[in-house]
Structure 1
Amino acid sequence: MLIVKQNRNTNQPRRPGFTLIELLVVIAIIAILIALLLPAVQQAREAARRSECKNNLKQMLLGLHNYHDQHSVFPPGGVAPQCAGNPPVNLSGIQECTTPFVAAAGLNWALQILPMVDQGPLWGEVKRIVDTKIDPLDAMNNVFGHYSPSMYRCPSHPWDNRANVAFRALENMSRGNYAASYGNGTLLQSMTVNANRGAFTISSRISARDFTDGMSNSVALSEVIYVVGNTADARGAWVFPGMGASAFSTGRGPNDRTADILASCANTTNEPCTQISTTSDQGPTIAAPRSYHTGGVHVGMADGAIRFISENIDRTVFSNLGTIAGGEIIGEF
């Protein structure tokens, strides 16, 4: 039997596909496009974070003004129930302590505006603690040590998942990223020298009429940063009324490379700090406003405006923005 072998049709088209070289070229093109797109995505995300950060400042400024509407004064930077044996000094009719810090100093501005920023239940817990006559600072830090309202945190700042770092045995201080201006000097200068005073010091009772420099020329709030995960760094502790915690000085520029001087801090490249030898006297302490934003920090002016202040601002101009009655002439900034 004769078997005839049928030849394959050589005219049949080949199945389409990529060669190895073509595949490598396509992968390279995709990689280049991703590399070009990634910075744009990161910039868009940072722009969103900066917008949220500005909104946080705006809400807190509104809270401060609502407090002023109810009480005719802005809240103090912190409350000193006693002056540690020292008589208070009278600054333009305002009673303040010559000792800039006492252990029982609590009820700072960030706590007192809680009912004005939709944090009524948290404020109720604050009132319960104060009514028990316990040392309010220790008690509140024990209660709030694991919690910070999202409004008090800037999303550009790396978040410490532990949410608390302790620098005193009874305090577990949750961190935030906003602080009030004590003035343009050290803590002691800002409390006792009229020319250095800001809107928020210990036991201050500042009203709108005290801003003789103009509320649009006085910084009320700004950003601060802290060392994530470090148990020695006190900065950013929003319940605590001390310098570097919920207070800053315009005597240091935005993101200043000059080290802060604090009773408890950790020194890093982004958060330079010199720790003083004693925690009993907070007088020489001073801390700069700092942020993780490129080129500067957001500040909230006393009139409610939000400004982005460049790191390159003239240091004298920025220092003058921290006072409320220094009598300085401030131009454009």
Structure 2
Amino acid sequence: MKSKLSFFDLVIVGVMASVGFSMLLPAVLRQRAAARNVLCASNLKALGLAMHNYHAAYNQLPPGLGGTVGGEDDTSNQGRLGPIVPLTPFLEEQPLWEKIANPYVSPKTGKRFPAMGPAPWFDPAEYDPWAATFSTLRCPDDMEDKPDASKQEPIVVMALAMPDLPPGAIDLATLCNYVVCYGDGTYMMGENIDVKDVEAVNRVRAGMRGVFCGNQRMRFRDILDGLSNTLAMSETISPGENDAKESHIAQGIQGLSLNPSLCLKAHDGDHADWWGVRRGSRWADGTLAISGFQTVLPPNSPTCLSDLGMDDPIASASSRHADGVYALMTDGRVVFIRDSIDCGDSSKPGVSVGEGYARPGSQSPYGIWGALGTRASKEVLPNPNPDLAPVESGTVRNRNGQIQRGGNEDKWTTWTDRDGKHRLKARVNRIIDRETVELEDTKGILHRVPLNTLSDQHIVMAVMMYEMDLESEAASKSE
């Protein structure tokens, strides 16, 4: 005989369900934040793998600055291409590389460009490859702080397969959150030298002590401190409406290379002279102040230019993660480096030739952080180092700096249709009228696909992920 639940029993069940639900949602939100951090670390891992594959193919690393020189900005890239450009075919972006490496005709204007393209600051509306965006170059935490992106009209297609971008439908915000390490030098580190200039060559050899530098050829065998002890890449905050001064670059600071701490004072005060270009604003541009960093000021410090301009910067690693930055060691490991890492004395000058600078061959004046940036200075690093923690697969750091096992909720999913003919790497944006799933691909294009055309597995997945999003939104509003 079946017993019926009384009204009182139903109330008790409802209360218990509500309590359980309220306990579950914060965990879901934490897991989502953890997943974003995992994805950021995975991006650096992918860049490290591309770097190693490039070295295996060409027996050298891509230069910090390279390309063609001479002519106008539309006939030469002025030797300012960054290392991300030659890495594109190793980042599963072969079609993009083919456009760059061959002569190109703009579909919009008919203008012709030579192989390797124009200057990286050339109008990306005319030279489409400079407007290319791919998810590997963006940290999800940095993308979260882009309210201006929501104001842009999205591209919507009624298809599951990746479409060709219609003319003019290109995101001009060609941002990149990952920057390469130039070492601990402070004087003229952003200079694109002429190999015939003996003085400049000697200065470069003395001061450019990182894995990446100018147009100088670098191999793994040149990293005498060991690949596992030398930084290759880290992060930077890219432009956004709400970042205050975080991606801005102060300029015109006299004596910066002799006293890098002047950069900290400029950003703390009422400095009014700001460079017109900002950190991470052009993925193809190898200019140090835009796409590189030095291990001089602590992580999450500002970036500045001296009165000598963009050739003489102090560029810092930065991120929107709590208490530190993710970084790629040259051996391919990803580590989390705390802001509190030993950075020595930032008021001291770096190594260079010339009066007032540390002598060539000296150990870094910037502590463990500076030592991590040098490739052959024979510094001895402490082991273990509490401010430099390895990031294991599937782990991230929470806001207390503790390792936290990450979830998979925000990872991209490869969606397939019922017949298995079409595939698309995307994530669920929303479900419309319980009949259509809206997927957002890695280029920001929205695909509105009837649910019943997806595979059974992905129908269930779409509904579950969408319901989890609703629960997360409800929890956020209630806090």
- State the TM-score, normalized to the length of structure 1: 0.71
For 2:342 and 2:63, the matched residues in 1 are separated by 28
Distance 1:207 1:303, change over 3 A: same
Q: How big is the shift at 1:28?
A: 8.7
Long gaps (5+) in structure 1:
1-14, 85-101, 164-171, 263-275
Q: How big is the shift at 1:136?
A: 3.6
Please, what is the CA RMSD of the aligned residues?
3.4
Percent of residue pairs bearing the same amino acid type: 29
Matched, 1:260 2:303: yes
Residues 105 and 137, structure 1, Cα contact 8 Å, conserved in 2: no
Aligned residue number for residue 225 of structure 1: 237
1:324 equivalent among 365, 369, 375 = 375
CA offset digits 1:23-54 (Å, max 9, x no partner): 8x999987776654443222211211111111
Distance 1:241 1:189, change over 3 A: closer
Distance 1:310 1:148, change over 3 A: same
Residues 187 and 207, structure 2, Cα contact 8 Å, conserved in 1: no
Distance 1:42 1:124, change over 3 A: same
For 1:61 and 1:133, the matched residues in 2 are separated by 23
Aligned residue number for residue 158 of structure 1: 143
1:209 equivalent among 199, 221, 233 = 221
Matched, 1:137 2:120: yes
Where 2:176 maps in the other structure, the secondary structure is coil
CA offset digits 1:164-197 (Å, max 9, x no partner): xxxxxxxx55002111101123362476253552
Name the count of aligned residue pairs.
275
The residue type equivalent to 1:240 in the other structure is D
Aligned residue number for residue 176 of structure 1: 176
The residue type equivalent to 1:235 in the other structure is R
Aligned residue number for residue 106 of structure 1: 80
Query: 1:224-243 maps to which residues of 2 (within 5 A)?
Result: 224-229=236-241, 232-236=276-280, 237-243=282-288
Distance 1:31 1:187, change over 3 A: farther
Residues 189 and 197, structure 1, Cα contact 8 Å, conserved in 2: no
Q: How big is the shift at 1:242?
A: 1.6
For 1:290 and 1:249, the matched residues in 2 are separated by 11
For 1:189 and 1:83, the matched residues in 2 are separated by 22
- Of 58-67 and 140-149, deviating more is 140-149
Structure label with greater radius of gyration: 1
- State the TM-score, normalized to the length of structure 2: 0.51
For 2:116 and 2:97, the matched residues in 1 are separated by 16
Where 2:314 maps in the other structure, the secondary structure is coil
Distance 1:144 1:31, change over 3 A: farther
For 1:28 and 1:233, the matched residues in 2 are separated by 55
Residues 77 and 116, structure 2, Cα contact 8 Å, conserved in 1: no
Query: 1:10-159 maps to which residues of 2 (within 5 A)?
Result: 17=7, 36-79=23-66, 81-82=68-69, 104-128=78-102, 129=104, 131-132=114-115, 135-139=118-122, 141=124, 142-158=127-143
The residue type equivalent to 2:184 in the other structure is N
Where 2:29 maps in the other structure, the secondary structure is helix
